[in-house]
Amino acid sequence: MRFGVLGPLAVTTDAGEPVTVPGVKVRALLADLLANRNQVVSADRLIDDLWGDDPPANPAGALQVRVSQLRKALNDAEPGARDLVESRPPGYLLRATADADRFAELAAAGDVARLTEALGLWRGEPYADFADSEYVRAETIRLTEQRLAVLERLADARLARGEHDLVAADLAELVARHPLREGLRALHLRALYAAGRQTEALESYADLRDRLADELGLDPGPELVALHRRILAQDADLTGPPRAARIRNSIPPG
């Protein structure tokens, strides 16, 4: 059984056939167990996550019904899959791997091809259909941060290969979505400068400086300040290798 959390919740058999998990509460239970996969989640926590301040008259029984429905949905699609959902005091455990685990594995390799493959696993925001649910929030934040870190590593690798113009274009949307992320902004400044767009690089730095001051009362960090000085001094080392001749490994949209 395969589980996807890098986008809307998705379940498929090992053969790739989609699995229908019926009912909002059953899908919410699955999302909760996936966010804590291979760990026991207490029944009390699951009840609170699923029903909050409006629990049913018999919350333990209602939870057992949803667990049975989840097991049935998995088992109907792939015989034996019901055993993935285990009863473990004081609650339940889902034995599973998800696309997020494959993402982490590919990201750890570090080369351009595998970073690109890792980012290709994403279908949207993590746990997209449960994005407002508190029980997946920490996992969503963690995965989103990991994705941004991989995007930055890929951009850095592509700059080293001379893809200045392409990286500058690819990072523009990400910078717009994460305007205060200094590592991302530094990569964009380097790409712009290496692409011969010094004025735009300086304007981007000024934009970040003003945003940090207005929104957080902070100045840019020392690494970004040093990069700004190197751009002003037209440091030849910032130009990097010659520009790439063709489009390769575009960064997925953020």
**For residue 189, what pLDDT is reported?**
97
**For residue 110, what pLDDT is reported?**
76
Counting residues of the chain whose pLDDT is more than 90, the rounded percentage is 91
Structure tokens at 246: 């063709």
Three-class SS state of 3: strand
Q: Which residue has the higher pLDDT, 244 or 199?
A: 199
pLDDT tens for 164-187 read 999 999 999 999 999 999 999 999
Residue 248 reports pLDDT greater than 50: no
Query: What span, in angstroms and rounded, lies between the C-alpha atoms of 150 and 142?
Result: 12
**For residue 131, what pLDDT is reported?**
87
Q: Cα separations (Å) of 30 from 10, 37, 71, 248?
A: 10, 10, 10, 38
**For residue 151, what pLDDT is reported?**
97
Task: For the chain, give percent helix, strand, coil, nearest 5.
Answer: 60, 5, 30
10 alpha-carbon distance from chain centroid: 15
Strands 41-42 and 85-88: unpaired
Q: Cα separations (Å) of 176 from 59, 126, 131, 133, 147?
A: 45, 20, 21, 26, 16
Spell out the domain ranges in the chain: 7-96, 100-238
Mean pLDDT value across residues 98-118: 94
| Number of Cα atoms under 13 Å in the Cβ half of residue 168 | 20
Mean pLDDT value across residues 118-136: 96
**For residue 246, what pLDDT is reported?**
40
Residue 254 reports pLDDT greater than 60: no
Structure tokens at 221: 């960090």
Residue with tokens 């699609």: 77
**For residue 239, what pLDDT is reported?**
85
pLDDT tens for 182-225 read 999 999 999 999 999 999 999 999 999 999 999 999 999 999 99
β-partners of residue 88 are 91
Q: Which fold has domain 100-238?
A: 1.25.40
Q: What is the pTM of this model?
A: 0.89
Residue 158 reports pLDDT greater than 80: yes
Given pLDDT bands bounded at 50, 70 and 90, which one contains residue 38?
very high
DSSP-assigned letters across all residues of 73-127: HHHHHSTTGGGGEEEETTEEEE---BHHHHHHHHHHH-SHHHHHHHHHT--SSTT
7-96 to CATH, choices 3.40.47.10, 3.90.550.10, 3.40.50.300, 1.10.10.10: 1.10.10.10
Residue 245 reports pLDDT greater than 80: no
Mean pLDDT value across residues 32-57: 97
